[in-house]
């Protein structure tokens, strides 16, 4: 994991992920929460949809 990614994970509780649709090619965004436990980062749930 790069230092840039590690800093971003340490600073923010909400993670926004953009994927590209396989058929449509359209971007899709989701928002999820992250937390740290036992020295690892974990993603969980969906706190809300992005418009």
Q: What is the pLDDT at residue 25?
A: 96
Please state the rounded mean pLDDT for residues 18-33.
92
User: What's this model's pTM, rounded to 2 decimal places?
Assistant: 0.49
Number of domains in the chain: 1
Residue 38's domain comprises 3-49
Q: Average of pLDDT values for 9-26?
A: 86
State what percent of residues in the chain have pLDDT above 70.
88
Contact at 8 Å (CB) between 47 and 16? no
pLDDT tens per residue, range 36-48: 788 887 888 755 4
In degrees rounded to 5, what are phi and psi of residue 3?
-60, -35
pLDDT, residue 51, reads 45
* Sign of the dihedral through C-alpha 35, 19, 6, 51: negative
């Amino acid at each position: 994991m790069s230092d840039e990614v590690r800093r971003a994970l340490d600073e923010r509780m909400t993670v926004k992920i953009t994927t590209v649709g396989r058929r449509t090619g359209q971007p899709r965004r989701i928002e999820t929460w992250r937390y740290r436990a036992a020295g690892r980062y974990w993603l969980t749930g969906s706190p809300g949809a992005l418009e």
